[in-house]
Chain A
Amino acid sequence: DAEITQSPRHKITETGRQVTLACHQTWNHNNMFWYRQDLGHGLRLIHYSYGVQDTNKGEVSDGYSVSRSNTEDLPLTLESAASSQTSVYFCASSAALGLATTNEQFFGPGTRLTVL
């Protein structure tokens, strides 16, 4: 069955370190998204991609970067981790733009990141 996975599921790191969170989907979806979820803020969009080599900034992109070298993966990098980036991070994917189901996003299980 097609799925979307994230790794690691839990990560503790120190302020200033570079951290990369992995996201892998086997839906063959063109679109991939990264969100962070914090109490009182719901889900906020960090970065998104509509296809290979395409990346776009979301609502809260400062301090994060992504790259899309293939269809299946969209890793999220925190260049220099800060305590304000302690959060739960979710990756999602959806079908290509223009398709009827393009807005139906499917989510991974999440990565809980703690920055000390």
Chain B
Amino acid sequence: GQQLNQSPQSMFIQEGEDVSMNCTSSSIFNTWLWYKQDPGEGPVLLIALYKAGELTSNGRLTAQFGITRKDSFLNISASIPSDVGIYFCAGTNTGNQFYFGTGTSLTVIP
């Protein structure tokens, strides 16, 4: 099955730095979602995007639905230790099939 290409695979950053990660697909998507997963827990929905070009914020997190509808970006500003975890993108294509990205592992060094 199709998987979304997420990058980078892992990140090690200093506390206070900004973070950027992205997700790309070979086909057009109608919906993009971003999840965070803490160790031993299930993914938690952070942001949902429904329109090309849409830019949505949730606290220090900002996500964008790419104009081409084949990509999405997640930015985290002024990172803190509790931002540690794995971030997944997910999306629904024009056939309403739901796919997850492979994840970006974020480590924040105090």
Nearest CB in chain B to that of A9: its residue: B40
**For residues 12 through 45 of chain A, which have their beta carbon under 8 Å from a beta carbon of chain B?**
35, 40-45
Looking at A44, A100, A101, A105, the one whose CB has the most chain B CB atoms below 10 A away is A105
Q: Which residues of B contact A103 (CB under 8 A)?
A: 31, 33, 48, 92, 98
Q: Hey, what's the 0/1 contact readout for A81-108 against B, CB within 8 Å counting as 1?
A: 0000000001010000100110111111
Q: Say whether A109 contacts B98, CB under 8 Å.
A: no
Cβ of A51 to closest chain B Cβ, rounded Å: 15
Number of interface residues of B (CB under 8 A): 22
Q: Say whether A42 contacts B101, CB under 8 Å.
A: yes
**A107 partner, pick from B3, B40, B44, B48, beta carbons under 8 A:** B44
Known contacts: A100-B50, A103-B31. The answer to whether A43 contacts B43 by CB under 8 A is yes
Looking at A43, A105, A109, the one whose CB has the most chain B CB atoms below 10 A away is A43
Cβ of B46 to closest chain A Cβ, rounded Å: 11
Known contacts: A100-B50, A103-B92, A104-B33. The answer to whether A109 contacts B3 by CB under 8 A is no
Asked if B73 lies at the interface with its beta carbon under 8 angstroms from chain A, I say: no
Asked if A59 lies at the interface with its beta carbon under 8 angstroms from chain B, I say: yes
Asked if B66 lies at the interface with its beta carbon under 8 angstroms from chain A, I say: no
Q: Say whether A90 contacts B42, CB under 8 Å.
A: yes
Nearest CB in chain B to that of A48: its residue: B98
For the residues of A in contact with B, the DSSP-based class is loop
Q: Which residues of B contact A42 (CB under 8 A)?
A: 3, 88, 100-103
Q: Say whether B40 contacts A110, CB under 8 Å.
A: yes
Looking at A97, A107, A108, the one whose CB has the most chain B CB atoms below 10 A away is A107
Nearest CB in chain A to that of B2: its residue: A59
Q: Say whether B42 contacts A45, CB under 8 Å.
A: no
Cβ of A14 to closest chain B Cβ, rounded Å: 24
Residue numbers of B with Cβ under 8 A of A are 1, 3, 31, 33, 35, 40-45, 48, 50, 88, 90, 92, 96, 98, 100-103
